Structure 1
């Protein structure tokens, strides 16, 4: 049986394949037969983690950020991810486009105009300033958006990816999560129980995180199908959206990373840029720039205090009790990004050969953060302007269907029939690139760190993720999958701390010529 499997899908690691498949089978079974119990179980753990250890996750994320920048500007920053004569495999634009499309693409399109409105209405910081729902609260709301989607997430990915890429490219080792432990266990990292457990845990977290992202995408695609083709947004539209994404992914997967993911990522970046330029021209240009730069100033000025803010000044009946806003936003996002560390970190490692540590860290953190800020700054500022000026009750629309946000924004401006189709197509492309890069990463883990796993292996895991998504759609339970991702992602903070120790050990080994 093993020989038949390997003749079709290529060599695989049974210690990763079977535990991963067993975990997914159990999850699907629980979703189908005990949907409410499954969600309640992981929701309980999720809330317990968030409301009891928020400070720990905030401190840990800040430590990772400081560690990453220290690496970039230390004497180790000149070391290459590879041999001294290795050159980057991809241009800087293609490199950044792929990591952005793989990591945040779907989530950004989903929340780009919506999140600012939630912060404006519910932020505890804005409430303390007496600016809830008021124009003066808009820059503060955008600052909170920048906190959620900015440096925190990208640095988590960068440090996780560095731990994998450094030994992989300097020693020609497999590109899997176990590689990040090389500084501690050396060659045993690939065979001992800790390495295998890291591979499996990371793959499960990646599946959960991607399933949640696909849930966002399906919501937007479903709304688009309803608008353009009259297909019901509910169950039927979501199933059609999921099937379409699976089919499109298969076409992309057959093209390989250098053509499929790279080409689509570049297309989407140019599409996103074109839409931003259009909205800057037809929208409230002066207000957009003013709000972005004011929010950026707040972000830079308050970065450390906002990173560690915990609502410690709120007491109810003499007892300290947080209002929950920070826990459900920044802390939740930190945990969600932690679930992306294996997938995004591993994928960034795969496409970063030949870059110095300094170029790698700054390029994979600053550049995509800047792109995210531009998108959120433009769309969020426009959404707030529409709401506060009374042009349209956009917040009500968002609360009814968050997937409608970008479409509703575009309908307030000329050429809506064209721009909404434009966004619909872009959303599909982001869905394909997220899907393709995830399957590429998981296939690498199962295929013993093979940098270019067989197409059949990638299609196999694409089908598995697609089936997982269809089951979730059928029972309407992407929230449960999202909670599963958070629960699996939380332990990766521990793994990341170990990775940091391993990185330091590897850098010292590089000093002595052993790496």
Structure 2
């Protein structure tokens, strides 16, 4: 009844979209229009600007990013293991809204599920042939280099990135569920700014930057995802999609993730995420049993042990031992892999943290921290070791030219690998389906998250608002895909997301203050 009265009090556009925040909606749409126009009018010039900022950040602040991201990891683990670990995200009698498996499935699918699947058979080969570690050891391209290549891959996709999401989500979820505050990015600064985190300049700026970063990052991922889907169609059917076919495929994906977002978290997003997790597990088991099983199990064991034992030294490794012409010279591998990855993870903090916060009500802080860090790392490690381990094994035994195919087309790695296995044709279809579902779950989660931010942190934004952002997300990706200008959008996403490195630092201060307030029954 109250909701009907609130709707009656709204006027104009708000009757259609619900009660939205004009200080977020209009600036975001305005900035999006300016950015898209700039990319379309002068994509090379726009990308040059974004690339210059990217390179400046990567090559001038590498040590700062290494120290900062590792500090976030240690902070997250400290919070989980501290005396505050038994506190709940919500009231003391609140319990989790979703089962553990559904929670993990949505968290993984909404985050880097699509990107992980895209890279799982390819990235270990890059590290095997090109990393500074294997080059220095003289093991590049050899069987002896595979364990180090796998360790580097897991490091890129491991606990550091998930710790960034965990801290961001905790800063948002704690005041939102404990005090009933709106679930927006600015509320994560509540411990510092109190109610000004919702109404003040810094809170609104955090919200706007977060939405822009999500639009750019997800738009680029969706565009590149459709290219992978197009390759999958060609591989399975032999039919190469032209521009019209790719356009139709994109429309179908947009319709699918928009409908999923409209159906809500408990139905569309949850069900699709569970389907993909079970499907992925089934394929992993098949590849493990029909591949070089003993080798893969040994590789997993060794990778796990080396990851645990060397995580501190690798976190601070900055290539200080490399000199050229008598002067220190940091090689590009560190910057274009580790540092670039840290920036890439940071650009996803707004969306992934906000969505993880939305699905984590009722869990204790300890369960939340361990569930958002250790569990995804083990899942990622299994994925990369089995897919990537098979890929590297085929390469070094000369059973298939995996490295040549990866260099020619990144998306080909999964399908070329599966051709070497029993029932490879069927597996190719299943992988194609999984890529599509990951694309849908990632994008529907993003459109749902943006709708929450624009709707004043409402955890259940109006359906029309979700449709609007589903169309805007897909429309931007389609426009840039059609004009071949996705790289500029990808570069923009990282530039827009980089400020969240400082936001996360502020989040950590805010979390400590909020936990202390809660311990004194002041929160």
**What whole-Å deviation, never above 9, does each CA across 1:413-460 have from its counterpart, x for those lacking one?**
111221101111111110110001001110000000000001111110
Give the drift of 1:231.
4.0
Give the drift of 1:479.
2.0
Q: Is the 8 A contact 1:38 1:480 kept in 2?
A: yes
**What whole-Å deviation, never above 9, does each CA across 1:246-282 have from its counterpart, x for those lacking one?**
0111221232110000000000000000000111111
Query: Does 1:99 pair with 2:112?
Result: no
Size of the aligned set, in residue pairs, is 514
How far apart, CA to CA, are the structure 1 residues paired with 2:242 and 2:63? 38
Q: Is the 8 A contact 2:223 2:478 kept in 1?
A: no
Query: Does 1:425 pair with 2:433?
Result: yes
The one of 315, 339, 355 equivalent to 1:331 is 339
In structure 1, the residue matched to 2:33 is 25
In structure 2, the residue matched to 1:169 is 177
Q: Is the 8 A contact 2:236 2:428 kept in 1?
A: no
Alignment of 1:72-111 (within 5 A): 72-111=80-119
**What whole-Å deviation, never above 9, does each CA across 1:400-425 have from its counterpart, x for those lacking one?**
11011111111111112211011111
Query: Does 1:271 pair with 2:279?
Result: yes
How far apart, CA to CA, are the structure 2 residues paired with 1:455 and 1:230? 39
CA 1:237/1:294 → structure 2, altered by over 3 Å: closer, same or farther? farther
CA 1:234/1:509 → structure 2, altered by over 3 Å: closer, same or farther? farther
Give the drift of 1:298.
1.8
In structure 1, the residue matched to 2:6 is none
Instruction: Give the TM-score normalised by the residue count of structure 2.
Output: 0.96
**What whole-Å deviation, never above 9, does each CA across 1:448-478 have from its counterpart, x for those lacking one?**
0000001111110011111110122122232
Give the drift of 1:212.
2.9
Give the drift of 1:228.
3.0
Unaligned 5+ residue runs, structure 1? none
In structure 2, the residue matched to 1:494 is 502
In structure 2, the residue matched to 1:318 is 326
Q: Is the 8 A contact 1:35 1:475 kept in 2?
A: no
RMSD: 1.2
The one of 103, 112, 130 equivalent to 2:138 is 130
Query: Does 1:439 pair with 2:447?
Result: yes
How far apart, CA to CA, are the structure 1 residues paired with 2:486 and 2:304? 33
In structure 2, the residue matched to 1:373 is 381
The one of 470, 473, 484 equivalent to 1:462 is 470
Instruction: Give the TM-score normalised by the residue count of structure 1.
Output: 0.98
The one of 304, 328, 343 equivalent to 1:296 is 304
CA 1:237/1:306 → structure 2, altered by over 3 Å: closer, same or farther? farther
How far apart, CA to CA, are the structure 1 residues paired with 2:39 and 2:239? 26
In structure 2, the residue matched to 1:479 is 487
How far apart, CA to CA, are the structure 2 residues paired with 1:296 and 1:481? 36
User: The residue matched to 2:240 in structure 1 has which SS?
Assistant: coil
How far apart, CA to CA, are the structure 1 residues paired with 2:328 and 2:379? 38
Unaligned 5+ residue runs, structure 2? 1-9
CA 1:150/1:360 → structure 2, altered by over 3 Å: closer, same or farther? same
In structure 2, the residue matched to 1:306 is 314
How far apart, CA to CA, are the structure 2 residues paired with 1:310 and 1:489? 23
CA 1:500/1:113 → structure 2, altered by over 3 Å: closer, same or farther? same
In structure 2, the residue matched to 1:395 is 403
Give the drift of 1:226.
1.5
Alignment of 1:248-267 (within 5 A): 248-267=256-275
Q: Is the 8 A contact 1:96 1:363 kept in 2?
A: yes
In structure 2, the residue matched to 1:156 is 164
CA 1:240/1:314 → structure 2, altered by over 3 Å: closer, same or farther? farther
User: The residue matched to 1:254 in structure 2 has which SS?
Assistant: helix
**What whole-Å deviation, never above 9, does each CA across 1:187-238 have from its counterpart, x for those lacking one?**
1110000000000011111122212322342232010122234443564454
User: The residue matched to 1:369 in structure 2 has which SS?
Assistant: helix
User: The residue matched to 2:372 in structure 1 has which SS?
Assistant: helix
How far apart, CA to CA, are the structure 1 residues paired with 2:41 and 2:168? 36
In structure 1, the residue matched to 2:251 is 243
Q: Is the 8 A contact 2:236 2:425 kept in 1?
A: no
Q: Is the 8 A contact 2:187 2:197 kept in 1?
A: yes
How far apart, CA to CA, are the structure 2 residues paired with 1:60 and 1:196? 24
Give the drift of 1:295.
1.8
